[in-house]
Structure 1
């Protein structure tokens, strides 16, 4: 797994600290070519891991990247699914079965479910889930996708429902069909790790908020340290700057030294900020590697 991952939040005007900055980012990235060039700024800085949603704009971006393979050699995708707004909009417009029919290939299980009027309450749940994964992954065919993530909206819903076997279904499908590892975004790392362990998922890949001010860290810093000591995991730290509450140098120095953090995911909308963040991670990684 890549040590440094570049994310896509800024491309869609997502900023947890400033609505004005989010609006500015949304305006800046209206042109898909601006998105492609900014991603390439990260590529030029040496970042080869791109953690992305399956938003329609990312599908456009993937088409551009596929058409320019020499420009993107070695780029690895870490797709996260589902992109919830896409499904919510489809359900609002078409209803549940109409949405499934639109989002999944015709024939087979969906048509059978519609004919029988069956609700998603049986073994069909697993079948529909894996078909939805396949529908989301279609755009990434032919690209390097070492880790496929379940987005936190679904991960944490499964936690709340207690249907932990769903995690095993997801892991098995991405492993057997895509030769990839399963990853899980979550806002509740202390609850997730025991749940994954209970269905046989050891040393999982989990992306969660990790930052010095404990911003959006469920249970706080000590809870993270305690649970990862008991249930080892490969944690990808996101929101390391706590949405701007911590200076980049202080934030990255701290997160690099958290023993359970394997990778760092960041987003930035300018070449200068991308390069600065990458340089800081490498600087503090190098210091950490030198014996005291």
Structure 2
């Protein structure tokens, strides 16, 4: 730089330094990492929908990578689980009495209920597993539970297809009917319910990390209390208790799947209403519950 140009450069620097920020510009600034309003938060989440889909699709069907059979285990493992439960509860303990097409009943329960369990056990890990991304980038933290739940739904699809094939080829056969199309809205409502549940579990576990060790025990109680391999009517004859148990969303989802797939019937309006209430109620409540603590998810613990 020449000597003649130095004063001009210095003069420009002085001019820049003398510039002031207007009050309007200051009002537009906000601290980094603060929780935005709910409408703004939803808009930012929608803007990242392509990332959510790409992340879920990239991670889906990857739980068995590194094994010889690969994704075959996504279908084989639930079937082996169903075989174990059939021998113990169907043959030895005779819980199959009074249940039409117990093999199909068991296959649906053992194969499809774990997706609900993963919403709890896997949802408890989403913030912990994404902590590096949280500390390195600015984005709505709800991206992580949404991407995880979407990935879990994709993982469930091969198992659901396997269920439809197995109940059709295994005696007593459950042949396809138009009612199988009702699986789609049931699956969507299950996804919405699981997403809301993941939001709730993610926030609780972030505040109380020890819950990661407790959720699996609670989901086991839920598993055994949702009629996965037995019918309530055989063990409970009190109508009030039965009505209360019917409000269990896990039992309700399995029952609606069984009605459509095994028994060629349309679930009654009461079941649709209750499941819709559970799904939308859990989604809205869980999302707001998660959003309220948005600022705390990147904190050191």
Higher relative contact order (Cα pairs below 8 Å, separated by 6+ residues): 2
Q: Give your verdict on TM over 0.5.
A: no
Greater strand fraction, Structure 1 or Structure 2: 1
The structure that has the greater radius of gyration is 2
Give the TM-score normalised by structure 2: 0.24
TM-score normalised over the length of structure 1: 0.24
